[in-house]
Every structure is written in structure tokens, then in C-alpha cells.
Amino acid sequence: MGPIGFWREIAALAAAIGVFAVIHPAGAQTPSSRIDEALQNITALVRPSRVGYATVWDGNKYVQCRRLSDRALRCEAAGATMQPSLTRILVPERQNRLATLGWTLDPSFGNYVQIFPPGMATASVADHILRTLIEVYDAQAPELELQTAWVVDIPCPPRNGPGQNLAGMVNDAPKMRATALRSCLYKPEPQPARIAASAQMLIEVYGTTVAAEIQRLRVNSDRKVYVVFSAGIGYIQCMPQTSPPTFYCEAQSAESWPALAAVLTPERVAKLRDAGYTEPGRAPNYSKSYPLGKFTDAAVASEILTLLYDVYGYAGAVELKISTE
């Protein structure tokens, strides 16, 4: 095959998945400088009625950025909602790492979002993106691919559909249109009940959802909001408090529902105490306060699900019921 045929094959392969990588000679640039160049490209090149997106990925692990009207950069890191295969990577420890690096869960599509201020140098943003991909997603820097693309400027641009390559990425490539998601949010189809054999398995099933509810409390900490996670027999409910800033949570006791006396054995109650929950007293339930500055949303979610599993025996035989105000 001659050089022209080779590049035709490369272009055809890229078109088949709806992306086209920016290819540079080996050793010409560092991964960070390539990302920086892509961010500069979507900043400098303005096309009427279109928005520039810079995407960097390794396999299905990606970060995608666009400029906002105030010149800030809004970036999304891939989540597990539309790419369930990422569940094996985005374990609670990795979700905590995302939070530490400044990423927050966006429940609209299940990706993690961070907005970089207008005055921040693109080189610094590029370093942060590379760090996220390597430290959280185990991306291989030499394998990173890049593209810049300009997509029609509408409130909810098309995204690669669930189960597709780079699911959740904004993309209007012709080859991806048949399976594109054209919506302002994605709600997965209900899944059959999955019996968890461990607390960790329960976290894999519900961790993202519970963390998003805890994040909602954090965002609305100055309002009267709450969330209840009910396991059918027993619940844990939480609300924000402002003085000091905490999540105040209660785990249901036998005092509030006598039927729990058969469930809350001394061994199980000991697990509540070990987690820092105090005995019923001022309230009829066990209670604990989580300082907002000390606990990430994912950490609180993981502890709640662990207690539902270890204390109340909830393994997911019925869907976790989540109630709010």
C-alpha cells in the first residue's frame, strides 16, 4: 500500500468512530504541550454559530473542553453512567481523587465537570488535564490521542450514545449520528436487580447516584433540603447544616421502628458506632455529622452504602429507594 492509500485507511478508520486525531511526529511535542496546543486552537479559531471542542483520550477515557462566553474553559471527564466499563476504574478512591483535583459530578450525563477561570493559562489547564487522565484513569501518556472539532452551538449538542466509543462526548460526526444522544440529560434504562455479594459491589451499583444526591445537599447547603436512602427495612437520611458546615445524617433505630430490633443485633450496632454514629438520645435514631471540608461526596456515599449493607443487610434485592423534599 502506498502513502496515499495508507492515509486513506487512517481517515476511514477515524471517520468510523467519529473522531480524527491530531497526529504529530514522534518526539515533536510532549503530551502536555499537545493538549495545550489543542486548547489554544479552540480559543483562537472562532466559527460562526459553532463551538470549538478539544478532546484528549486514551481508549474510552477522555477529557473534553470548550470555551464559554466569558472565556472560561468548561471541561468534562468521562463518567461511568454512559460508559459502565469505567466502573472498574472509577472506584470510590478514584472518585475521591477526582474531587481532590476539583472535578464534580454532573448528573445530567454522569461525567465529571470542572470550570477553569478565564485568566488561567492553557498550559496550566493542560497539565491539570494530563494529571487527571494519568492519576485517575490510568491513561498512558504516549497513547493519548487528540482532536479539535467545531460543533453547532445549541443548548444540548449531540453526544456519542451509551455503549458507543467515547460515550458522552459531544460529537456531531456524520458516522455517529445514527446512535447519537440528542438530549439535555441521559437516564439509563432500569436494570434488573443485582444482588451485591459485598459492600463494595453495592457501591459499584449505587455509588455514583448516592454521591450525586450528597453533592446536591452540598450545593444547596443554605436551603432546607434532605435525602433519604431507604433499604426497605431501615434507612439513612441526611441533610446539610450550616453552623458548622456539615452533612447531618441519621441511621434508623429500633426506637423509631420496633421491627428493626430483629435486624439491629449488637454486632451490627457496633458497626454504626465504629463509623462514628452516636446512640439515640436527642433524636430517636443513630446520628453522625460529616464536616463538609473533610469528607468528599463520594466518601459519604461509600460509607452510607457500606452501612446499609453491613448494618441493615441491604444487598440490592429491591431497588434502593431515594426520597427528597
Predicted confidence (pLDDT) per residue in 46-105, tens digit = 999 999 999 999 999 999 999 999 999 999 999 999 998 898 898 888 888 999 999 999
Specify the residue for cell string 446512535.
179
Distance of CA 193 to the CA centre of its chain: 22
Which range, of 6-10, 61-65, 163-167, 197-201, averages the lowest pLDDT?
Answer: 6-10
The average pLDDT across 107-134 equals 96
Residue 165 in this model has a pLDDT that exceeds 70 = yes
4-18, 171-185, 191-205, 295-309 — which one is most confidently predicted on average?
A: 295-309
> Looking at the DSSP assignment, which residues form a beta bridge with residue 129?
none
- How many Cβ atoms sit within 10 Å of the Cβ of residue 81? 24
pLDDT over threshold 50, residue 109: yes
pLDDT at 36: 97
81's grid cell:
453512567
Please name which of 69, 67, 79 lies closest in space to residue 137, comparing C-alpha atoms. Answer: 79
pLDDT of residue 193: 65
User: What residue ranges of the chain are covered by domains with CATH 3.30.1460?
Assistant: 199-324
pLDDT in the model for residue 6: 37
C-alpha dist (Å) from residue 304 to 45, 206, 288, 312: 47, 10, 11, 11
Q: CA geometry: angle at 181 spanning 177 and 186, to 5°?
A: 170
CATH class of the region 199-324: alpha beta
pLDDT over 70 (residue 191): no
Question: Cα–Cα distance between 11 and 18 in angstroms, integer?
Answer: 10
Confidence band (pLDDT; 50, 70, 90) for 176? confident
Instruction: Please state the rounded mean pLDDT for residues 250-261.
Output: 93
Scan for cell 450545593, then name that residue: 219
Terminal C-alpha separation, the chain: 65
C-alpha cell at 43: 480559543
The residue with greater pLDDT, 279 or 3, is 279
| Amino acid 22: pLDDT | 41
Look at residue 110 and tell me whether its pLDDT is greater than 90: yes
Q: Give alpha helix (H) positions in the chain.
A: 3-17, 31-44, 92-100, 122-135, 199-219, 266-274, 297-310
Task: Tell me the percentage of the chain whose pLDDT exceeds 90.
Answer: 73
Q: Other C-beta atoms within 10 Å of 209: how many?
A: 18
- Tell me what the mean pLDDT of segment 150-162 comes to: 95
Q: How far apart are CA 61 and CA 59, in angstroms?
A: 6
Answer whether 159's CB lies under 8 Å from 168's CB.
yes
How far is Cα 244 from Cα 291, in angstroms, rounded to an integer? 8
| b/e map 133-154, b = 16+ CB within 10 Å | beebbebeeeebbbbbbbbeee
User: What is the average pLDDT value for the chain, to the nearest integer?
Assistant: 88
